[in-house]
Amino acid sequence: MVIVCALLGGVAGFGFSKLSPKSFTASASVLLRPSPGNSLSPQIGLSNANQLTIAMTTEVSLVTTPVVAAKASSLAGGSLPATGDAVAATVPPSTQIVVVSYTAPTATRAEAGANAYAKAFLSFRASNAKAATDAQTKSLQSQLKAADAALKTAAAQAASDTDPRSYAAQELQLYAERVASLNNSISTAGTVSLDPGTVIRTGVLPTTENGVPGWVLVAAGAILGMVLGLLAAVARQLGDKRIRSADTTVVEGLPILAAAAVPMQVLDPSDAASADMQSLLETFRQLRTAVTTSAGRGTVVAFTSLRPAKPTAVLAYNLTTTLTLAGYSACVVDLDSSAPGLLEQLGATAESTGDGAGIAGVEVIRADGQPHDFYNPEVRTRLEKLRATNDFTILAAAPCGTADGDVGASLADATVLVASENRSTVPGVRLARERMLRLGAPSLGLLLVGRVVATSHRKAASTRVGAPAVPDSHALRD
């Protein structure tokens, strides 16, 4: 799951990188010079940091104005900024530099836009400087013309007055100084630099897209997918109530008596060449030890299956086989009407004969009649006879939770719950355990199995292996 989520995250990151809109940004740097008519003018004291900051803040805000945009559009030969484009300007700290950035869907358009805006901004400042200088010169010349006229009038009046301290003489001196001052101002205005600045770095063709590189998105998507996969796996593990023999040895207070590592089939201890058969024999030897330790002789033990239901007749037969191999007298009673009969699973009929494939001493008793007939005094009487003549009587009961399963469990002294590895659940074990207690057949523990092979390759000779066939009168109710 984690690997799949990581792959999906990587694919999602790759798809996002391909589907997200592309954009490129080019930047041009402009060094501003103080010029008349602009915020950064010769009148600004460059040594005053506050005044310089205010002037540059004003200058940079003018880059994105419609007037500059119109000039940039004229230079570029098209409308700027175009749809989907963006222009911005910044001032590096403590400088007279304006950095103009232009963002567009293509690298070529970004480069052209940045250079056009840089030139347009300088053109805008140059126009402001020329307009301001022209206006100042015109005003000074108008004042000079008026001062010249006043000077001539004062000179005529002073010519007729011989007193050098007279009012006319003083007025003549005043206008003469005024004319000289205006001439000086006009001369100074003509020498003021109108240079708005210069482009110190032109915009170049951007080689990388804006935003996060595609490989980073792929890696981030894969990592995010892996994290989500881990979280999902942890959540699934914490919420998974299925039984696994590798995770625990006790489920709801019941021990796992044995766990089959191979598909369940009829046990043939003489088949030493089969690794599966030897593994199966080991499983039921473990179960035999657990049953004989927990239950005394003369005990009736029932096999009943949790959901999903498993046939219990083969399991009961296999346990009975290992009990007889250990020298115990034991028989198996098939009460599970929900599955094929045990004799049919062994590949035999009640009338067939044979040598029993070397599994001696195993008596198979069929429960004739309908399931509801099992719960009657005759059945209990027959079981008591079996209890008296056998060390262990093993019942193959119907699945737990069914009416037939309840009948089978009620006939036993103890039960073995058959659970499916990785399929049966912990809550199911809890309910079955409580149910067995109510029926008076407490559970000894769990037998974990996988797949059950319903048919054996061997031929069971009779209801008592190694003996003549048992007639129909050997049924449980007789």
Q: Evaluate if residue 458 carries a pLDDT over 50.
A: no
Domain count for the chain, please give it: 2
* Whole-angstrom distance, CA of residue 164 vs CA of residue 167: 9
Domain shared by 274 and 411, yes or no? yes
How much is the pLDDT for 44?
Answer: 67
* In-domain check, residue 226: no
**What CATH number is given to the structural domain containing 75?**
3.30.1890
Cα–Cα distance list, 275 to 262, 269, 400, 420 (Å): 9, 11, 31, 22
- Does one domain contain both 194 and 280? no
| Domain assignment of residue 214, yes or no | no
Per-residue pLDDT tens over the stretch 256-265: 999 988 788 8
List Cβ neighbours of 18 (8 Å cut-off, separation of 6 or more). Answer: 214
| pTM of structure | 0.53
Residues 348 and 433 in one domain: yes
Which residue range forms the structural domain that includes residue 395?
A: 250-474
The pLDDT tens digits for 398-450 are 899 888 899 889 999 999 999 998 888 999 999 999 999 999 999 999 999 97
Residue 145 within any structural domain of the chain: yes
CA 363 from centroid of its chain's CA atoms: 58
Report residue 351's pLDDT band, with 50, 70 and 90 as the boundaries.
very low
State the pLDDT confidence band at 473, using cuts at 50, 70 and 90. Answer: very low
- Whether residues 187 and 267 fall in one domain: no
Same domain, 312 and 392: yes
- Shared domain check, 278 and 177: no
Kindly state whether residue 390 falls inside one of the protein's structural domains.
Answer: yes
Closest CA to 363 of 384, 343, 340: 343
* 90-117 tens-digit pLDDT: 999 888 999 999 999 999 999 999 999 9
Residue 147 lies in a domain: yes
Residue-level pLDDT at 472: 35
Residues 292, 437, single domain; the answer is yes
Residue 3 domain-assigned? no
What's the sign of the alpha-carbon dihedral 256, 261, 267, 270?
negative
Nearest to 122 by CA among 55, 27, 38: 38
Residues 323 and 443 in one domain: yes
Residues with Cβ within 8 Å of residue 191, at least 6 apart in sequence: none
In a domain, 425, yes or no: yes
Q: Are residues 189 and 261 in the same domain?
A: no
Share of the chain above pLDDT 70, in %: 79
Neighbouring residues of 185: CB distance < 8 A, sequence distance ≥ 6: 140
Q: What is the CATH number of the domain that holds 389?
A: 3.40.50.300
Boundary-marking domain end, from 182, 201, 220: 201
- Highest average pLDDT, of 43-52, 129-138, 167-176, 279-288, comes from 279-288
Same-domain check for residues 264 and 187: no
Q: Domain check: are 196 and 333 in the same one? A: no
Question: Which residues make Cβ contacts (< 8 Å) with residue 225, sequence separation at least 6?
Answer: 5, 6, 7, 8, 9, 10, 12
Mean pLDDT of 236-244: 78
* Average pLDDT estimate for 389-406: 91
56 found inside a domain: yes
Residue 155 one-letter amino acid: A
Query: Mean pLDDT score of the chain, rounded to an integer?
Result: 80
Question: How large is the average pLDDT for residues 151-162?
Answer: 73
Contact 466, 449 (CB under 8 A): no
Asked whether residue 154 falls in the same domain as residue 73, the answer is: yes
